[in-house]
A and B are shown apart, each in its own frame.
Chain A
Amino acid sequence: GAVVSQHPSRVICKSGTSVKIECRSLDFQATTMFWYRQFPKKSLMLMATSNEGSKATYEQGVEKDKFLINHASLTLSTLTVTSAHPEDSSFYICSAQQGNPYEQYFGPGTRLTVT
């Protein structure tokens, strides 16, 4: 149980285009979903927290107009990188929490490369 999927696993896009990444909790309902960014050999950096049906809470320094988050249901959250630039290239990971504060389950990540 407690499986989180992400799609796509890898995406290459041209500078200026937008990319959508999906995060799904497959066998549980996630009250809260988180989006992280991870640079090579660095730890996870929390970008935003989203609760189903409400606006996402963004961390300081994260542009909410560039990284659009939608949490339309208890099993799906999407992250859209708008007008992507090469500096947005990174590994994006989502996680989902059911309610137990211990248990935050991570997706497999999406490798974004902007050319």
Chain B
Amino acid sequence: QKEVEQDPGPLSVPEGAIVSLNCTYSNSAFQYFMWYRQYSRKGPELLMYTYSSGNKEDGRFTAQVDKSSKYISLFIRDSQPSDSATYLCAMKGSGGSNYKLTFGKGTLLTVNP
């Protein structure tokens, strides 16, 4: 079983739709959870981060972490064509050798005008 599982998609939605992106993980030591957006042939851009369980909202984006289920989500409201990109979840433990980010494979999202 891979440490982080993410459906690669592709996911295609109409403009204005609510998008739900998800990752599951197996390592209970993960404490920090991040979502990155990566446009084609560019480096990943940090979108949101969350520590431990809970929700975090930033504009049209909401990140949720459920540590009991080892499941994290990113919701995008009122999706725009400019949101079309690959979304990568990433997570890490705290301290010691747990400093490394473990990434999901990424979900390719296309928002159609």
Contacts and interface: CB of A to CB of B under 8 A. Distances in A.
B34 A102 contact: yes
Contacts of A111: 41
Interface stretch (A11-19, A42-50, A66-74, A75-83): A42-50
Contacts of A43: 88, 103-106
A101 interface: yes
Interface string A1-23: 00010100000000000000000
Interface string B79-110: 00000000010001010000111011110000
A101 B94 CA distance: 8
Contacts of B46: 103-106
A108 B43 contact: yes
Interface of B: 8, 32, 34, 36, 41-46, 49, 51, 88, 92, 94, 99-101, 103-106
